């Protein structure tokens, strides 16, 4: 039985991953700081469901080295899945200090924890944002990632470099996972699919940037979780993988599918493209297929239908 410590346990991906691992028979415990980036009530509701499964979530900060050490030692942790981070591109334009604390200082804290416990394998969240202003598509793990479009992407690129340096110096096992627009039930309210659903349901206008002429490789949460679990099970020494759907969709199609699921038409407020945004993301997942057996199964149409069904039950 693996003993897995998840940072960001109360977050969207952490919540789903923990539930899957518990059902798989692993021991799971986690940490979250319950910050106010979005309504923490949703995080507390996720945690309550995890507690019902016998999974504990400790409130704390990943920069608290004593607490991090205690968690690993007391529970005999074999794997750390580091998901805690300050998310969001637009938020980084006005709150850069939050990204320095969580995504840089916090990441080094996790690497130091693994340095002290080199038998512990680390799987960490990176992002499609590392590809930044790259024009070649689909994005491959071998492509250069030295032109970030925003601070969030720059911090995730820094994570990958820091992880590589710790592997080189101390031999710790590190696997980075570049997530591509993960969505689904219990998701983040700040993401477009969630806010679109809420506003269309409530009869309020939605803000559509660049007339919706942007493509995103929307990846359903269950597919992503299976990719993370494969990375845990494989335990490669030092790798980076794309976890995307390999099928980018126009934001206008996202809106159409939400309208169809809700049976309501959106009131659209068109705005120019925002600073830090990119026109398209598209994951090349050949490496993930070959080395992780990763094979996403959920289309955007199926995934949005499941999300809207959940939303109508919960809200």
Q: What structural domains and CATH numbers belong to the chain? A: 3-182+221-245+278-296 (3.40.50.720)
Question: Is the model's pTM score more than 0.85?
Answer: yes
Helix axes 151-170, 106-116, angle to 10 degrees: 10
Query: What's the pLDDT at 130?
Result: 97
208 token code pair? 């559509």
201 token code pair? 């349901």
Dihedral of CA atoms 8, 11, 17, 23 in degrees, nearest 10, equals 100
Q: For 224-274, write each residue's pLDDT tens digit.
A: 999 999 999 999 999 999 999 999 999 999 999 999 999 999 999 999 998
Parallel/antiparallel/unpaired status of strands 174-179 and 215-216:
unpaired
CA 26/CA 48 separation, integer angstroms: 19
- For residues 99 and 1, the model is more confident at 99
Cα 27 to Cα 3, 61, 118, 209, distances in angstroms: 5, 21, 20, 43
How confident is residue 90, by pLDDT bands cut at 50, 70 and 90? Answer: confident
Q: Please check the confidence at residue 104 and state whether its pLDDT lies above 90.
A: yes
Query: What's the pLDDT at 236?
Result: 98
CA–CA–CA angle 307, 308, 311 (5° rounding): 90
Q: For 42-68, write each residue's pLDDT tens digit.
A: 999 999 999 999 999 999 999 999 999
% of the chain surpassing 90 pLDDT: 96
Query: What's the pLDDT at 274?
Result: 86
107-127 mean pLDDT: 98
Parallel/antiparallel/unpaired status of strands 249-250 and 215-216:
antiparallel
242 token code pair? 């794309």
Which is nearest to 224 in space by CA: 155, 159, 136, 128?
128
Cβ-Cβ contacts under 8 Å for 176 (sequence gap 6 or more): 124, 125, 126, 159, 160, 163, 239, 240, 241
Query: What's the pLDDT at 103?
Result: 98
- Known catalytic membership, residue 5: no
Cis upstream peptide for 138 (omega within 30°) = yes
Q: Please check the confidence at residue 158 and state whether its pLDDT lies above 90.
A: yes
Query: What's the pLDDT at 275?
Result: 87
Contact 126, 160 (CB under 8 A): yes
CA 222/CA 224 separation, integer angstroms: 5
| Active-site pick, 5, 99, 124, 152 | 152
């Amino acid at each position: 039985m693996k003993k897995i410590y998840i940072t960001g346990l109360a977050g969207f991906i952490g919540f789903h991953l923990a539930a899957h691992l518990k059902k798989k028979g692993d021991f799971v415990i986690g940490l979250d700081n319950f910050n106010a980036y979005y309504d923490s009530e949703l995080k507390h509701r996720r945690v309550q469901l995890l507690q019902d499964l016998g999974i504990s979530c400790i409130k704390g900060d990943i920069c608290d080295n004593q607490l991090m050490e205690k968690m690993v030692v007391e529970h005999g942790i074999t794997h750390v899945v580091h998901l805690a981070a300050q998310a969001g591109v637009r938020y980084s334009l006005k709150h850069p200090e939050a990204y320095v604390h969580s995504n840089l200082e916090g990441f080094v804290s996790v690497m130091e924890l693994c340095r002290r416990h080199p038998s512990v394998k680390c799987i960490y969240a990176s992002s499609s944002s590392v590809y930044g202003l790259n024009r070649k598509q689909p994005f491959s793990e071998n492509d250069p990632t030295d032109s970030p479009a925003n601070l969030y992407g720059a911090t995730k690129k820094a994570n990958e470099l820091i992880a590589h340096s710790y592997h080189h110096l101390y031999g710790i096992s590190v696997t980075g996972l570049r997530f591509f627009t993960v969505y689904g039930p219990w998701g983040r309210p700040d993401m477009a699919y969630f806010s679109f659903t809420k506003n269309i349901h409530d009869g309020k206008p939605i803000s559509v940037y660049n007339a919706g002429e942007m493509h995103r490789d929307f990846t359903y949460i269950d597919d992503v979780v299976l990719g993370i679990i494969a990375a845990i099970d494989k335990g490669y020494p030092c790798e980076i993988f794309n976890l995307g759907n390999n099928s980018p969709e126009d934001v206008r199609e996202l809106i159409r599918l939400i309208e169809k699921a809700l049976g309501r038409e959106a009131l659209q407020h068109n705005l120019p493209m925002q600073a830090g945004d990119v026109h398209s993301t598209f994951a090349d997942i050949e490496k993930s297929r070959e080395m992780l057996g990763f094979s996403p199964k959920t289309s955007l149409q199926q995934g949005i239908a499941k999300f809207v069904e959940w939303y109508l039950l919960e809200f």
